[in-house]
Amino acid sequence: MERKKYNNPLITRYASKEMAYIFSDENKFRTWRKLWLILAEAEKDLGLPITDEQIEEMREHLNDIDFEYAAKKEKELKHDVMAHIHTFGKVAPSAMSIIHLGATSAFVGDNTDLIQMKEGLGLVRKRLLKVMSNLRKIACDYRHMPTLGFTHFQPAQLTTVGKRAALWLQDLLIDFKLISLLLSRIPARGVKGTTGTQASFLKLFDGDEEKVKQLDEIVVKRMGFPRSLTITGQTYTRKIDDDVIHVLRQVAVSCSKFGNDLRLLQHDREMEEPFEEKQVGSSAMAYKRNPMRSERMTALARYLISLADNTAFTAATQWFERTLDDSANRRIVIPQAFLTADALLLIYANITDGLRVNEKVIEAHVARELPFMATENILMESVKKGADRQEIHEVIRQYSHKAMDAIKQGADKNPLIDFLAEDSRIPLNREEIMSILKPEEFIGRAPSQVEEFLRNEIDPILDTYQDIIDGKKVDLNV
């Protein structure tokens, strides 16, 4: 009995069909055939003896790939490019003699890798824009709502819920800019020959360097790239791979930061990721609402972050014009990195589509901690009324510890204000003290900062790319 094969969970559970297709065999080998056609057309245009019939036969068979035959030939030849040349030539026999003319394996392999990465980056950017749009709404809607700030995960000066969302959004803005920059400058390998010298093409064109240069320019333009690398070995420098994966790593860092923050906030019930009607939090504890989505984010982010070391090692260990020890590694690492980035941003979009902000819980937490934060203002107001600063400081210190002990013992509310209002050494009555305890007085410029950030940095981008931002809610496979 034949056992079932292992299924990559990035494809079966987490990433989208769109990203899976970009790195699929079907797309890869169709792209190889398109590149062979582009090369033959350009060579014909520049005067090589290639017929219209050969070109047309190639064009008619760009998509009908016999994968079984290709696998058979690769097993025989132990060379994937040669196997697919034979497979293409089988259905385009008149063109067999000119398929891959003058080229080396890296012509189809490397150029296709760059095409796939460029397409993948475009999809990642689209995913980013969706999440940025979601976070923009959250930041705007809650820009005035006070919440506890945390430093060292200890209660600190108040911020707002919207300001915190803006911090998450700012991380994604940095990622967006990095991806946009990379998309604008990622080059093609182009038509460079066996060791990058273009010697084979110079031979084909009888030493005419201008035609060889034109061939590279024509092919690269038809591939959809603004330029190719001027200098290559047999392959393009693997530092480009490292550059790409490090940008994806930055996306993973942003996702992990958000995921961990949300897990902590969900512990305190201040914010919650979506929880569906029939969703089960625990097989044993039926009451639980585990932060499954944000935990998945941090798990996948950890994996993607680790991949960036891999591409750095690969770039660092290439010998001279090329070695083949990169090939098997890159077949795994590059698609996995893009599939993981895609999965992360789909989860991020799903969470922010239905993020729940529990305002009453947040207000209660602020009320519990605000008296401690207000003590400096109480001290200053007391001094203004003639009290001794050092004496009042000591009074506040003693009562603060007493109040904290009461909270630790399970007090329903923070008793610090009661202690201070009832002590005659404090020259402020309860009403005066309570007037100091207005949360909105402790959030500084947070609302204005959010408004300025959205108006000046986020809205121009979202307006520019409005046509590609998906307004539909994202559903996860599992």
Cα–Cα–Cα angle for 252, 256, 260, rounded to 5 degrees: 175
> Quick check: helix, strand or coil at residue 59?
helix
Using the structure block, give the residue that is written with the tokens 């097993």: 75
Which residue among the candidates 282, 306, 435, 448 is catalytic per the annotation? Answer: 282
Count CA atoms closer than 13 A to 473's CA, side-chain side: 9
- How far lies 252's CA from each of 284, 308, 333, 348, 352, in Å? 32, 11, 15, 11, 16
Cβ atoms within 10 Å of 430's Cβ, excluding its own? 12
Alpha carbon distances (Å) from 171 to 381, 422, 459: 39, 47, 15
CB 263 within 8 A of CB 291: yes
d(CA 32, CA 85): 9
**282 is a catalytic site residue:** yes
Whether 424 is a known active-site residue: answer no
Report the alpha-carbon distance of residue 309 to residue 322 in Å, rounded. 20
Tell me how far CA of residue 340 lies from CA of 13, 19, 120, 283, 302, in angstroms.
Answer: 11, 10, 11, 27, 10
Contact 362, 370 (CB under 8 A): no
Distance CA 218, CA 231 (A): 17
> How many Å apart are CA 258 and CA 155, to the nearest integer?
19
d(CA 291, CA 258): 12
Residues 416, 399 contacting (CB under 8 angstroms) = yes
* Catalytic one of 152, 184, 267, 283: 152
Q: How far is CA 385 from CA 45, 388, 429, 437, in A?
A: 92, 9, 12, 18
Assigned token pair, 243: 């550059």
Catalytic residues: 152, 282
